[in-house]
Amino acid sequence: MSASVGRRIQSVIDRLRGKERRVDPADAWGMSARAARKAVHPQGALEVIFYAHKGRIAHKWHHYLEIYERHFEPLRQRGTPVRVLELGVSRGGSLDIWRKYFGPDARIVGIDVDPACAERVDPENAVIIGDQSDAGVLAAAIERLGGGVDLVIDDGSHLGRHQVASFEYLYPRISERGIYVCEDLHCSYWESHEGGYRRPGTFIEFSKGLIDQLHAWYLDDGLQATSMDFATTTYGIFVYLDVIVIEKRPIEKPFHVRIGE
């Protein structure tokens, strides 16, 4: 992280700790200064970095920041460059946020259908133009990352058919202790995004099936055979308001232990 970025982050921390608690409303993507002051309570480095950001527009729900801090910080502390793929680039600000959070050595690629997005990032980041459900586009992004990926953040079309296709291609290709995130799951309930309450094909309904796969050890032989790859590579599925986080980790067959008298 550059010295200038560090000074800006420290400046935000100092303001938040100070008597007036001033926050630039531009840092809160459209919130009033009063609303921003009430909302901003930094919980970690990511939140501080987000609210200190002055560059391209980054648009995230505020409550995502605490969730991401919980799951992303171990990746950040590994000591090796993190490979990040974000589906959906928009104005390019979120790629800048990940660069500040994961450091200058991180490899960061975005995918977007809008050709203009290719001009909305710094040279150290990259954008692949194409459909997030296109296997060829996803393969090109992974190749650009050096042949692997540690963190996928799906902030793309928010359509279930795209989200599911992206997950099915990318999840097996994430590193063995990587993370997959799908944002804005409220769209699974909106007709405008091909959603609806318990409507088949949404990522919400697809995720319920992933919970079954996580428990493949206890399924009948037929179902077990099709689910065991997921069960043996997935540590957990974490469901929050609007967000699902799926963490990978090699998993051995579960066993129980009885101790005591």
Residues 5-62: pLDDT tens digits? Answer: 555 555 655 554 443 344 443 444 455 444 554 455 546 899 999 999 888 998 898 9
Rounded CA-CA distance 131/155 in Å is: 13
**Neighbour-count burial of 224, counting CB atoms closer than 10 A to its CB (0-12 exposed, 13-18 middle, 19+ buried):** middle
pLDDT score, position 120: 87
Can you list the domains of the chain with their CATH numbers? Answer: 1-54 (no CATH), 58-248 (3.40.50.150)
Lookup: tokens for 68: 């991401």
Q: Which residues contact 230 (CB under 8 A, 6 or more apart)?
A: 171, 210, 213, 214, 216
State pLDDT tens for residues 69-113: 999 999 999 989 999 999 999 888 899 999 999 999 999 999 999
**Neighbour-count burial of 104, counting CB atoms closer than 10 A to its CB (0-12 exposed, 13-18 middle, 19+ buried):** exposed
Q: Would you name the residues annotated as active-site residues?
A: 158
Largest CA distance in the chain: 68
Rounded CA-CA distance 203/190 in Å is: 12
pTM of this prediction? 0.82
